Structure 1
Amino acid sequence: MSKVLPVRVVAVLPLLLIAACAPQTDMGVNNDVDIDAAAERAQSSINAYHPDTVLPANDPVAPPPATDPMPSPTPTSAASVPDGLEEPLVPPAPGAPGGLPDDRTPISEAPAAPDSAQGAAHVVERYYALIGERKYKPAWQMWRGGGAGSRLTPTDFADSFSEFSEYHANIGAPGRIDAGAGQRYVTVPVQVYARLKQTRKPYYAIGSVTLQRSDVDGGTDAQKIWRIQQVALKPAFKR
């Protein structure tokens, strides 16, 4: 994994298969699958920021950027697809609908400081690498408050990815660092490409991850590390 993320250039995480058995399905049900609803059910629990939940006192809270809420999902079922017939995962290209921004700015060769915007992008890269490897607890701990900022227990966090047999992400170049009340914020573009477990069909989503760190005098080292504040994704299916 490169130590330096390109500026406005996509860094592709390796395809890491999440070993999970497809559940038994009823072959007599209607095969017209509401794929949007199935995928949204898996993502909706970690997309919304809920400020009514109290975080630890040493983890200051500031209002996150406004994002479009995910629609309420509805349950679906589907017949399985024979092995070898799955549609390949081919996420939309940069600049295309559902793709990351296509900015041809030259790649920076300078090392990325941990407290820089590039350092924040490395955190997001590591976060999705852990999810792709099914290492859900360390990924959960990358949220603010050692995981509390996700508003999920470690078990619920892991379960939020149970609809997928594999899960990957492309990470875009981070935006500028914004400041407020001794805090620093940065938003990193993200493109998710995954496979639904029931249907084995591809799922694509586009959005961003917002990170926060403290910049006050006397703050602890832990408070000065970039932590995930919000994940905001919306479906971007490639037909």
Structure 2
Amino acid sequence: MRVVIAMLAVSCAACGQQSQQPAAEPESSTPVAPTPSPAAPPAPGTQGGLPDDRKPLEEPHGPIDPKSAEAAGQVVQSYGALIEQKRFAEAEKLWGDAARARGVSEELRRYAEVHLQIGKPEEPEGAAGSIYVNVPTVLYGKRNDGSAFNRSGQMTLRRVNDVPGSTEAQRRWHIESAEWLEKD
């Protein structure tokens, strides 16, 4: 019985709301342009998408070790946010090679909309006094003509080991390369 009373109360409330709404405005003869759909990356595990890793990233329990793969992933995350906002000069500072960074910015300026989807950073690997981390990524967005694009690949980050003579800047993660630049 209580359910029936509750349903009647909801129905009556809805009726009262309908009568209070303003009448629809007359249709305009001016055509309304459809709202463009937002750019979206391919789903993980599909062609062009990130790897389908069912194990979620663990949230850090305290400060992130600046030497860790997670710290490298944060650099990629920052880079993605900056290019999405078209703040290319700031994004370039996250690269190790200034000339390469400017070239990437020029490439990305060609697009009307740019986004970067980021996967789980791989385990760090050492080589010749440096540590490298690969981070799977998907660059996606819209071209100036409105058509969608997406390029999957990875970004490689590098930092110099804590060796005598290395500078603080060398010991920070920086972007070494972006594999998706060679595709399109």
The reply to whether TM is greater than 0.5 is yes
Which of 90, 93, 112 lines up with 2:40 in the alignment? Answer: 90
Residue 160 of structure 2 is aligned to residue 210 of structure 1: no
Matches within 5 A, 1:168-183: 168-183=115-130
Task: Indicate the SS of the match to 1:190.
Answer: strand
How far is the alpha carbon of 1:212 from its aligned partner? 0.6
CA distance in 2 between counterparts of 1:100 and 1:188 reads 10
1:113 pairs with 2:59: no
CA distance in 2, matches of 1:164, 1:120: 26
Identity %: 34
Question: Does 2:87 align with 1:135?
Answer: yes
Q: Report the AA paired with residue 153 of structure 2.
A: G
Higher helix share: 2
Structure 1 residue runs of 4 or more that deviate by more than 6 Å after TM superposition: none
User: For structure 1, which runs of at least 5 residues remain unmatched after alignment?
Assistant: 1-81
* One-letter amino acid matched to 2:96: R
Q: Distance in 2 between matches of 1:83 and 1:141?
A: 39
* In structure 2, C-alpha distance between the alignment counterparts of 1:193 and 1:157, rounded to whole Å: 14
Q: Measure, in 2, the Cα distance between the counterparts of 1:134 and 1:113.
A: 29
Who is 1:13 aligned against? none
Deviation per CA, 1:181-204: give whole Å up to 9, x if none: 11000100001111101x201111
**Structure of greater relative contact order (alpha carbons < 8 Å, 6+ residues apart):** 1
Q: CA deviation at 1:164?
A: 0.8
**Candidates 111, 116, 121, aligned match of 1:164:** 111
Match of 1:184 among 120, 125, 131: 131
1:44 aligns with none
Give the Cα separation in 2 of the matches to 1:181 and 1:200.
45
Are the structure 2 counterparts of residues 83 and 119 from structure 1 closer, same or farther at C-alpha, using a change threshold of 3 Å?
farther
How many equivalent residue pairs?
148
Question: Residue 157 of structure 1: CA displacement?
Answer: 4.4
SS at match of 2:76: helix
TM-score (norm 1): 0.57
Does the CA contact (< 8 Å) of 2:40 and 2:141 recur in 1?
A: no
Aligned AA for 1:105? K
1:139 aligned counterpart, secondary structure: helix
The structural deviation recorded for 1:83 is 4.6
Higher CA-based Rg: 2
CA gap 1:106/1:141 in 2 versus in 1, 3 angstroms: closer
C-alpha distance in 2, partners of 1:215/1:133? 32
RMSD over equivalenced CA pairs, Å: 2.0
Q: Secondary structure at the match of 1:143?
A: coil
Write out per-residue CA displacement over residues 54-86 of structure 1, whole angstroms, 9 at most, x where no aligned residue.
Answer: xxxxxxxxxxxxxxxxxxxxxxxxxxxx95364
Q: Is the 8 A contact 1:173 1:189 kept in 2?
A: yes
Q: What is aligned with 1:230?
A: 177
After TM superposition, the score normalised by the length of structure 2 is 0.73
Report deviation, 1:92.
Answer: 1.0
